[in-house]
Structure 1
Amino acid sequence: MVEAVLAKFNIRLELDRDNLARHQILLLLFLLQALTVWSVLTFNGLSAYLSLSLYAGPMYAALSLILFGKVISYLLRFVRYEKSEKTPTRMLSDFRDGWLNADYLLAFSIPILFLPSFISLFSSLKTVIPEINGFYLDRTFAELDRFLHFGIDPWVITHSIFDGPVSAGVLDFCYKLWFLLMFIYVLWQVVNVSQGHRRAQFLCAFLLIWFVLGNVMAVLLSSAGPCYYHVVMPGNDLYAPLMNKLGLYYEELKAAGGFLQLDSHNMQKQLLDYYQKGELGAGSGISAMPSMHVAVSALLYFSARELNRYAGRFFLAFLVLIQVSSVHLGWHYAVDGYFSIIATWGLWRLSGWLVARYTSDQETAWSR
């Protein structure tokens, strides 16, 4: 009876071997991260911080918008058909061929089911980094920043180029825009399964940078960042001039009441409050090295340049803006971003190799 129903609606259950292999890789990465985070938190007596649903609401809400857009694309395709083809049967046929098959359902379901928990586990571990390995590298990174920039603090350079509250407000806006662009791009990759190996490489690299850089390296290279230097290095507030200047810009922009604001100022206070209270929440956790803002921006560039040169140029410019913003606003040392770009490139190449190694795909970034 089941077979008869499937045959009637032409629902295909056969799985493409390469598609199955790609998503086995993703599933193994999900499970590896979950096992690692659970083990680390349990071993350190911090299992109370373990959360699987911290970001489920926002991610599924964003997904609903993406799915709505995909449905609209089907309707627009229907409008372009010849009059004789504009029938409910043709629309159902398009939907069935595009969605009701095992390959599409597998490719769509694996990331959708696991990504919210993956990001929640990332935050769970990030929140307790100082409990596992206290911030100990801030002085080193501050000195390395100054050494690499010929004895000048990088924030002094950015503020000499982008001076004043308006410039700070623009960079702050770009820093906030990162969240929106990341979610849109990732969810677009999730639903756009026709991208094949490019999609698999992107999703694999996305998981690796959050796990390897955002969790593993963040614990090993534990540091708080310039805006919290006075907290982790009491009595040696090296970045007081930067933070005082940003505080003045915050007040000026707030008094002006315009579109541009310095929301980073409040976000830094909120994260410090989470840190001091030892609470887990959306976005909680202090960690400077590596910079996930820069790492994700680099990944978007590496992926987008494979689509077309205009998308590549846009995300390259965005990557530069995020690197500058992270230093200008006191979130990161410049070396945090430099390290993140190099490491992300390596993980992007590794992801391309994995996709090629365990599937028959030949056209991967590993060969370019």
Structure 2
Amino acid sequence: MNRVIGLTKKLDIDRSIAMGSIMLLGLFAAQAVGVYVTLWQYGLLGHFKPQLYAGILYYSLGLVVFVKGISYSLRYLSYEDGARGIIRVRQDFREGWFNVSYLVAFMVPMVCLPTFMALFSSMKSTIHLIQPFYLDELLMKADRFIHFGIDPWRITHAIFNSAIASAILNYFYNLWFFIMFSYVLWHIVNVHFGKERLQFLLAFVLVWPVIGSLLAVLFSSAGPVYYGDIVGDNSIYGPMMDILRHYHSQFENSAFGIFALNTQDMLWADYLKNDTNIGSGISAMPSMHVAVTALLYFSGRQMHRYIGYGMLVFLVIIQIGSVHLGWHYAIDGYVSIFLTWLIWRVSGWVVRRFVMPNPAQI
């Protein structure tokens, strides 16, 4: 039997949808409790701001309508000519948007994710207060050892040795949020993806607190851009930052440039004030930019090989950009890819083990 019976037959919920939603709610609740208890234990509850991203929900709903429209249009065009028409559209929406199972599967991640991300930012902005940055020098040395005695940024700057190339890397690095956000919404609205959808959402909800919070505290580090301020040695990454500032100066009064520099200054200002704002917080190891992009790749190649190819290219660009722009040590990304792969595999095992093998296609 693959249904959880409600009060009436109209409220029946597909068993796999119910179990998947319970899993996601459990992870959302665990993160909220974990962040609250941690901040309370360290006397940092002033940084506990679950409402930080509340406004994003309204923008998300608008984008959801757009994403759903695109997704349904592609699905509709796949029908044979005789199966198209207003009756089929009405039937699809009755079985989709107005289906209880669909609404539960859609609303659980949609409503919880803004608070989830807000609590991640709350935690990230307090990493240095819980565990002062201590690992930067070791990570710098590990980078040199892995890359045969060469600082990885010197390799990327030897290859992408122009202002325009650096600005393009910066552009794609900033594009990360839009691609990540769109891909997540794409999975939220397409409940018919079934096990593949749930595996991605479970992994996504695990990656942030495990890699971006727990391990970020254990491996507390600031990153190359702040190395001189934290370690007191500007000779290693100071030349890299001088090059980036020189490149940025070439785009004066332009819509293009190395805008990572402005963001890095803003994050440092929040760090000095011990403030928690949207996007605030400094952390190098592991890299969430690389971790999430790796997750998009693992999921994308499962959905379609061409999506996988595109996400693999994007992953390489993000890894290079994270080093080139001074955000991360190269090893931050390598570790993130491996850890994300582990989380992806565990999430897949959980779905196969605890979710019905043939979930209803809504």
TM-score normalized by the length of structure 2? 0.91
Distance 1:124 1:144, change over 3 A: same
**Aligned runs of 1:282-293 on 2, under 5 Å?**
282-293=278-289
Q: Which amino acid aligns with 1:319?
A: L
* Aligned partner of residue 144 in structure 1, secondary structure: helix
Distance 1:82 1:160, change over 3 A: closer
Which digits, 9 at most, give the CA deviation of each residue in 1:231-265, with x for residues without a partner?
2112555211111111111111225x2x5311001
Which digits, 9 at most, give the CA deviation of each residue in 1:251-292, with x for residues without a partner?
11225x2x5311001000000011011111111000001100
Match of 2:292 in 1: 296
Match of 2:133 in 1: 135
Of residues 138, 150, 153, the one that matches 1:152 is: 150
Determine whether 1:186 maps to 2:181: no
Of residues 325, 332, 337, the one that matches 2:333 is: 337
**Aligned runs of 1:243-254 on 2, under 5 Å?**
243-254=241-252
Match of 1:113 in 2: 111
Match of 1:123 in 2: 121
Q: Which amino acid aligns with 2:30?
A: L
Q: Which amino acid aligns with 1:328?
A: H
Determine whether 1:276 maps to 2:272: yes
Distance 1:83 1:183 in 2: 36
Gaps of 5+ in 2: 1-6
Of residues 35, 43, 46, the one that matches 1:45 is: 43
* Aligned partner of residue 159 in structure 1, secondary structure: helix
Match of 2:96 in 1: 98
Q: Which amino acid aligns with 2:269?
A: D
Q: Which amino acid aligns with 1:292?
A: M
Distance 1:332 1:56 in 2: 29
Match of 1:308 in 2: 304
How many positions carry a matched residue from both structures? 352
Q: Which amino acid aligns with 1:156?
A: R
Which digits, 9 at most, give the CA deviation of each residue in 1:123-144, with x for residues without a partner?
0000010100000000000000
* Aligned partner of residue 106 in structure 2, secondary structure: helix
2:287–2:328 Cα contact (<8 Å) kept:
yes
1:55–1:120 Cα contact (<8 Å) kept:
yes
CA displacement at 1:95 relative to structure 2: 1.7
Determine whether 1:320 maps to 2:321: no
Match of 1:233 in 2: 231
Of residues 33, 36, 60, the one that matches 1:35 is: 33
Match of 2:3 in 1: none
Distance 2:35 2:295 in 1: 23
Of residues 12, 15, 31, the one that matches 1:14 is: 12
Match of 1:198 in 2: 196
Determine whether 1:211 maps to 2:209: yes
Q: Which amino acid aligns with 1:184?
A: S
TM-score normalized by the length of structure 1? 0.90
Distance 2:14 2:182 in 1: 27
1:229–1:237 Cα contact (<8 Å) kept:
no
CA displacement at 1:64 relative to structure 2: 1.3
Which digits, 9 at most, give the CA deviation of each residue in 1:162-199, with x for residues without a partner?
10111100100010010110000001111110001000
**Aligned runs of 1:162-173 on 2, under 5 Å?**
162-173=160-171
Determine whether 1:56 maps to 2:47: no
Q: Which amino acid aligns with 2:16?
A: D
Distance 1:75 1:298, change over 3 A: closer
2:223–2:329 Cα contact (<8 Å) kept:
yes
Gaps of 5+ in 1: 1-5, 364-368
2:67–2:186 Cα contact (<8 Å) kept:
no
Distance 1:147 1:71, change over 3 A: closer
CA displacement at 1:60 relative to structure 2: 3.3
Q: Which moved more, 1:271-280 or 1:17-26?
A: 17-26
Which digits, 9 at most, give the CA deviation of each residue in 1:282-325, with x for residues without a partner?
11000001100000110000000011111111100100000000
CA displacement at 1:230 relative to structure 2: 1.3
Distance 1:290 1:85, change over 3 A: closer
